[in-house]
Amino acid sequence: MSTSRIHSKPKSWLWGTLTSIRLTVFLLLILAAVAIIGTVVPQNQPPDLYFSYYGEVWGQLLWRGGFTNIYFSPWFLAPILLLTANILACIVHGLPQAVKRVSRPFTGETALNLPERGRMTWPAGVNPQPLVQAALSRELGSCRRETLPNQEIYLAERGRFRPLGPYLMHVALLLILAGGLIGKFWGVNGQLALDQGKVASAFQVGPRTELPLHFQVRLDKFQVSYYEPGSAPKEFRSDLTFLLNGRQVLRATCRVNDPVSFGGLTFYQASYGTESTGPIRLKLQGENLNQSVEVPFRQPAELPGGRGRIIIMRVDGNFQGYGPAVLLAFSAGGGHPQAFWVLQNHPELGGRAGPYRFSVESIPYRYYSVFQVRYDPGVWWVYGGFLLFLPGLYLAFFRPAERWALVLAKSPEGEWQGRLLGASPRHREEFAAHQERLLMELQRGTPS
């Protein structure tokens, strides 16, 4: 931001450090390094995982040292805080100057102080003003004219607001950081698991913490569809009804990438599942065996014939697009259990285990849908930051600042003499290119 500390009076060491660009570069690289650790060490896992994966000593170190939630630990937050102070200090330090520079108008008076870049003379009787006007407008966009005693001055300025660019970008970054903080402290982030047909009036915000809703929400229907059986899922869709005091207020469909907002909260389709609502009827076939059995969900059951036992581990309302299915675990004697899916609508894909062949007669099931429930007042700050950052970036990097003036004076003999003045604080190359072309165009009408 500020080029150096030269302008500031010998203030405190602290201020000098805070506004130094060396600190900025150092912090940016430190943040990058800490962020790398965060992508290498798995984040927010249960502590046992670290002990078993990294061993006792390293596991302890990572867990106690805050490396397992690094983006919210001092390792990351301290540099962020320092960077924020650094940015703030640089804004305080440099913004007033930049505003002053931008608001100082470019007048004929100030133009006369610019360094001279070339001279030209037009013969008596030739009025160069249309030519000058055309050349400047073509090369620099637009120009205006001022008349001083005995002089006509054409002024052209580009990138007048460039000095504000870096400050816009940095204010934008502060907005984004502020938005993050606001969301962290005043936002709500929870989950709502809702059975099909059920009504909820609270949602989970922590392992055992519920937050009441000031309305009710009902999951009318959940559907999962597939492009084709066995292929990728096409859509997860929850049809919701919002109620106030038992009265229906809004019906809406919530999909991935298509959240629903109601009463200040936004519901995002996050996950779903199937659960059984009663015992599952299976058909067993085998040696002299052809009978139906009812098996309760997730409870071991001896099979008729006594040649093994099963547990129904999962039910799925639409297993990979093939319709309802159950996941069975079969074990016989002391052997390893084997697990396999049995599909209701596709008995031909059916499972065999031991002497048995399984098919499904009925699966009483119900879908549930899981929603991410959010209220984040910081989002608009973040988006505001995004919107401010881009014009800042454009001004800072794509609008070279240049000032040009062409001073015309008429000699007593009646010939016009021109002096081209101009300067650009940082963009030497663009400036040189403009200078070359301007001089060429201006001298086209002169005899020399």
Partner 1 sequence: MISQIFGVVMLIYLLAAILFLMAELWASLRLQAAGRLMLWLGLGIHTGALLGRWVESYHLALVHSPPAGLAARLGLIIHHAPLSNFYDSLIFFAWCLPALGLLAFRRDLKGYLGALISVLSTLLLAYASLGGVDSRIKPLMPALKSNWLLIHVVTAFLGYAAFALAFGSAILYLLQERRPRPSLPPLPVLDRLIYRTTILGFLLLTLGIFTGAVWAETAWGRYWSWDPKETWSLITWLIYAALLHARLLKGWHGRRIAWLAVLGFMAVLFTYFGVSFLLTGLHSYLT
Site for partner 1, rule CB under 8 A: 1-3, 21-22, 24-25, 28-29, 31-32, 35-36, 38-39, 43, 71, 180, 189, 227, 231-236, 255-259, 266, 268, 270, 372, 374, 376, 379, 382-383, 386, 389-390, 393, 397-398, 429
251 or 426: CB nearest partner 1: 426
Task: Give the nearest distance from C-beta 118 to partner 1 in angstroms.
Answer: 24
Beta strand pairing call for 280-286 and 265-276 = unpaired
Q: Quick one: DSSP state of residue 378?
A: T
CA distance 396 to 350: 66
Task: Give the nearest distance from C-beta 313 to partner 1 in angstroms.
Answer: 25
Task: Give the nearest distance from C-beta 390 to partner 1 in angstroms.
Answer: 8
Task: Give the nearest distance from C-beta 370 to partner 1 in angstroms.
Answer: 12
The one-letter amino acid code at 230 reads: G
Task: Give the nearest distance from C-beta 159 to partner 1 in angstroms.
Answer: 15
What does the block give as tokens for 89? 């200090």
What does the block give as tokens for 134? 């055309």
266 or 362: CB nearest partner 1: 266
284 or 396: CB nearest partner 1: 396
Q: Quick one: DSSP state of residue 150?
A: T
CA distance 325 to 344: 6
17 or 24: CB nearest partner 1: 24
CA distance 70 to 193: 29
53 or 398: CB nearest partner 1: 398
Task: Give the nearest distance from C-beta 424 to partner 1 in angstroms.
Answer: 15
> Is residue 106 a contact partner of residue 114, using CB atoms and an 8 Å limit?
no
165 or 418: CB nearest partner 1: 165
Other CB atoms within 10 A of residue 238 CB: 24
Beta bridge partners of 226: 233
Q: How far, in Å, are 194, 253, 268 from residue 245 at the CA level?
A: 19, 21, 23
53 or 227: CB nearest partner 1: 227
Task: Give the nearest distance from C-beta 245 to partner 1 in angstroms.
Answer: 27
Q: Which residues 6+ apart lie within 8 Å of 75 measured at CB?
A: 34, 37, 66, 67
76 or 319: CB nearest partner 1: 76
361 or 383: CB nearest partner 1: 383
Q: To 10 degrees, what angle do helices 379-398 and 165-186 make?
A: 170
Task: Give the nearest distance from C-beta 296 to partner 1 in angstroms.
Answer: 33
Task: Give the nearest distance from C-beta 337 to partner 1 in angstroms.
Answer: 28
What does the block give as tokens for 255? 């999909």
Task: Give the nearest distance from C-beta 256 to partner 1 in angstroms.
Answer: 4
First to last CA, the chain: 46
- Give phi and psi for 198, each to the nearest 5: -95, 160
CA distance 272 to 254: 12
392 or 422: CB nearest partner 1: 392
- Give phi and psi for 207, each to the nearest 5: -55, -40
Q: How far, in Å, are 25, 169, 183, 290, 394 from residue 87 at the CA level?
A: 12, 10, 21, 77, 19
